[in-house]
Amino acid sequence: MSSIETEVAPTTEPWVGRSVPRKEDRRLLKGQGAFTDDIWMHRQGYVHFLRSPHGHARIVSIDTSRAERMTGVYATLTGEEVAEQQDPYFQIAPAPGGDLKDYCLAVGKARYMGEPVAAVMAETRTLARDAAELIDVEYEPLPAITDGVRAADPDTPVLHEEIGSNVAWNGVYDYGDIDWALENADHVVRIDRLHFHRFTSAPLECSAAVVSWDPGTGVVEIHSNNQMPQFAAQFMGPAIGVPSQRLHFVSQDIGGGFGIKITSYTYLTALALISRKAGRPAKWTEYRSEHMAASAHGNERTFLDIEVPVMSDGTILGFRMKAFDDAGAYLRYEPLGAVIWAQVVAGPYRLKHINVDYTETLTNKCPCGPNRGYSRLQHLWFIERVVDLVARELEFDPVELRRRNYVQPEDYPYVTPNDCVYDSGDLPQMLDKALALIDYDGARRRQADTRSNGSRKRIGIGIGSTLDSGTNNFGQARIVNPGLPFSGNGEAAHVKLDLYGEVSVRLGTVPQGQSHETTAAQTVADILGMDPDTVDVVAGHDTISNVYVGFSGTYASQFAVTGLGAAIGAAEKLREEIKVVAAVALQADVDEIEIGGGAARVAGDPEREIPFIGIANLVYANNAVLGDLADTVSLNCRYVYRPPFEVPDVETKRGNLTLTYASQVHACVVEIDEDTGAVEILDYAAVDECGRRINPQVIEGQVHGATAHGIGAALYEALHYSDDGQLLNGNFFDYHAITALDMPHIKTDEVEAPSPFSPNGAKGMGEGGGAPLSTLCSAIQDALDEGGGVVVDTHNTSEDVWRLLRARGDRPVQVMAR
């Protein structure tokens, strides 16, 4: 079990690898953070969105006149106006999905409950809300479709007539030779259906923004908690005709994002338009019920007709299946999810033969966004469920089955069937550690005792092995749409030696709690020989003052590689400039100069030293001394880290889709009450491997967060819709977001396998691969195995488990022996 001690005393050891206290906490723990709702702009008006109560309806008419006559109302905005002022957003999908017309407000039709159909700006937030009630909207309700599989049927109601069906994207991924594998396997396990449910992230802070369209300069100033402004800019700019340099995004502290704040660009667009109309800044803070119904949800996915060829020795050869991914009503980030799962096509296993017929459908539900572990956790859960069901049906020990099929330490770098490269890892060791943490043998004895003593409690032991692929190759977008001009990845950073010798860092990323200020300070401190406390990492992100590239943002487990990679590059450039200036000042060769303690000096000659303030003085205020050298150094060093990617082969759907692969092995012991189905987690262990560990305490926090998120989804959190497209639990009364009170004590341990591909040996982490979903399903299944049903869903409430305990004769899994 790991032991984390916060280190504060300076040592000669590198700062990277130490649990340096978080720089962010100094303000956050004192209530001095600046979140979007804290932003106030002169003459601002408050915006409220009027939303569709229908899951699917034609908008016959909208009359805003009563609202506009209300004293204190500044402006209204309707879909009809939007259609005149905004071009439809760029679509990632090719036709037919790419033909979809998406606007910031509903135009012509409302396609999900909660879709904004009009906006009101008023003097106060409550006045805007009251005024919205005076907007008369006449709807013609239409039949809804909420089943992501049935949505593909041609006779179901069509959401977007311009597409002609609800199928947004379809493609077949075929690696190895699944027909051969099924023909030659000793056994074929068939599973009818597995289902990954819809849930969300429930960040502490809902979406919020203050947007001001300056009519004089044409600058649209956007204070928001959008977590990927450059992605937003690529949608907003062309849609509303504003060049990217005039889209000024600003954020400081963000109360959690988890991916679902990437697609808030539709709201930012609406706020920009109503700001322009009203001639005032537009402020909007989302209510929780709005967030639950109409921000973004995680993708729901159904796996059908699963066939798994298995050899007698337990070698799993691969699988064939159909996947139906329910994107909701619009393709706000989709269909990227239709390829991103392929980063982990074989999961942590040496599966060789894989065939996936993948379909993305549109339904009358909230559009999906890239929720933590986006698209990979669905697939990773599928694989883990398959492994457990293979073990169950063919009577393999689930531990030994995993050991046999894991990618082995000596296999790295391991090339998957679709040419992704797993960089490093040690899954068997992680499994050993996880099992040791829960005292696996003792738990098995306890399980046996419980079975034999007539207890009404059942013990189940579960294992979940997942990957957290990080640093996307955006070239994979071409696999879903060969026409997209995207490939590679990158991130920018700027490191500066300021007037009085201070070192400041500006990042291209948009942190939402990931401790970027701290870990960037540690990284830069090591390169410049400083204490992290003396490295000033500017909080938040501002597109005027921060550097960025098109991929900038905080998403997809990549900061440790891309963000810090950029900081390393910029700091190294600055170090070289400091050395050059110092060499002139100290009349030495550059190679003789060493840096440390806020000064540059001649190695071996402590008398010949110049502090950083002296270096800064020479460049900024005393440059005649430097002569021509002053033209070549600026002490302002920008660096763009670019991972070594190539463009994937769109025909074969092969290529290196991700740079690093962190891994997780979780294990748990649950106790199930036979009478109620209640699941109690008795023991939970999370073993993490994320390459070189920059700040163990920060990693521990991420592991805890991802584990809580996964446990919540497995046991408590699910978004349910009625057949007519009504969200049935869009509030915290009915949607139980996990809290500390629900959490078991988490035992943690780690394995460190530095990545050979990243600039610092680190791997992106934090999404966590959804390991708790796999682990809890595995444990529940293990408890049921004395007789009972088959766990085929990610989400299992007490009632579900109660029913599974009583399921008899239900055979969603069949085995064919050869």
Nearer to other proteins, 283 or 795 (CB): 795
Burial of 598 (0-12, 13-18, 19+ CB in 10 A): middle
Residue 536 Cβ vs other proteins, minimum distance, rounded to whole Å: 44
Q: How far apart are CA 106 and CA 713, in angstroms?
A: 30
Q: What is the β-pairing status of strands 421-422 and 414-415?
A: antiparallel
Nearer to other proteins, 49 or 641 (CB): 49
Nearer to other proteins, 50 or 239 (CB): 50
Confirm if 379 and 347 have CB atoms less than 8 A apart.
Answer: yes
Nearer to other proteins, 85 or 798 (CB): 798
The reply to whether omega before 96 is within 30° of 0 (cis) is yes
Q: How far apart are CA 655 and CA 660, in angstroms?
A: 14
Q: How far apart are CA 413 and CA 425, in angstroms?
A: 9
For residue 574, what is the enclosing H or E element?
helix 564-586
Nearer to other proteins, 172 or 728 (CB): 728
Residue 287 Cβ vs other proteins, minimum distance, rounded to whole Å: 9
Residue 355 Cβ vs other proteins, minimum distance, rounded to whole Å: 31
Q: Which residue has the tokens 């060829």?
A: 309
Q: Residue-wise over 494-526: b if at least 16 C-beta within 10 A, else e?
A: bbbbeeebebebbbbbbbbbbbbbbbbbbbbbb
Burial of 154 (0-12, 13-18, 19+ CB in 10 A): exposed
Residue 60 Cβ vs other proteins, minimum distance, rounded to whole Å: 13
* DSSP-assigned beta bridge partners for residue 507: 493
- In degrees and rounded to multiples of 5, residue 349 shows phi and psi of -115, 165
Residue 131 Cβ vs other proteins, minimum distance, rounded to whole Å: 10
3-state per-residue secondary structure call for 363-418: CCCCCECCCCCCCHHHHHHHHHHHHHHHHHHHCCCHHHHHHHHECCHHHCCEECCC
Structure token pair of residue 159:
């959401």
Residue 730 Cβ vs other proteins, minimum distance, rounded to whole Å: 5
Who contacts 534 (Cβ-Cβ below 8 Å, separation ≥6)?
502, 503, 525, 598
Residue 201 Cβ vs other proteins, minimum distance, rounded to whole Å: 18
Residue 41 Cβ vs other proteins, minimum distance, rounded to whole Å: 26
Amino acid at 137: V
Residue 208 Cβ vs other proteins, minimum distance, rounded to whole Å: 19
Residue 814 Cβ vs other proteins, minimum distance, rounded to whole Å: 25
Confirm if 366 and 207 have CB atoms less than 8 A apart.
Answer: no
* DSSP-assigned beta bridge partners for residue 78: 118
Q: How far apart are CA 189 and CA 536, in angstroms?
A: 57
* Helical H segments across 716-797, by residue range: 771-784
Q: How far apart are CA 191 and CA 170, in angstroms?
A: 22
Residue 726 Cβ vs other proteins, minimum distance, rounded to whole Å: 5
Residue 106 Cβ vs other proteins, minimum distance, rounded to whole Å: 13
3-state secondary structure of 223: strand
Question: Dihedral angle at the C-alpha atoms of 327, 109, 264, 100, nearest 10 degrees?
Answer: 60
Nearer to other proteins, 113 or 306 (CB): 113
Nearer to other proteins, 53 or 598 (CB): 53
Q: How far apart are CA 538 and CA 521, in angstroms?
A: 10
CA 314, distance to chain mean position in Å, is 34
Nearer to other proteins, 288 or 642 (CB): 288
Nearer to other proteins, 113 or 477 (CB): 113
Q: Residue-wise over 261-288: b if at least 16 C-beta within 10 A, else e?
A: bbbbbbbbbbbbbbbbbbebbbbbbbee
CB 96: neighbour CB atoms within 10 A? 16
Confirm if 377 and 466 have CB atoms less than 8 A apart.
Answer: yes
Nearer to other proteins, 149 or 588 (CB): 149
Q: Which residue has the tokens 């010949």?
A: 608
Nearer to other proteins, 110 or 537 (CB): 110
- Of the candidates 797, 120, 100, 771, the one whose C-alpha atom is nearest the C-alpha of residue 481 is 100
Residue 139 Cβ vs other proteins, minimum distance, rounded to whole Å: 8
Residue 794 Cβ vs other proteins, minimum distance, rounded to whole Å: 13
Nearer to other proteins, 620 or 716 (CB): 716
Nearer to other proteins, 694 or 719 (CB): 719
Residue 735 Cβ vs other proteins, minimum distance, rounded to whole Å: 8
Nearer to other proteins, 140 or 799 (CB): 799
Nearer to other proteins, 49 or 684 (CB): 49
Nearer to other proteins, 133 or 605 (CB): 133
Nearest-5° angle of CA 20, CA 25, CA 29? 145
Provide the binding-site residues for other proteins, judged by CB under 8 A: 50-54, 113-114, 129, 132-133, 137, 146, 289, 293, 720-724, 726-731, 733-734, 797-800
DSSP states of 416-437: PTTS-EE----HHHHHHHHHHH
Residue 55 Cβ vs other proteins, minimum distance, rounded to whole Å: 8
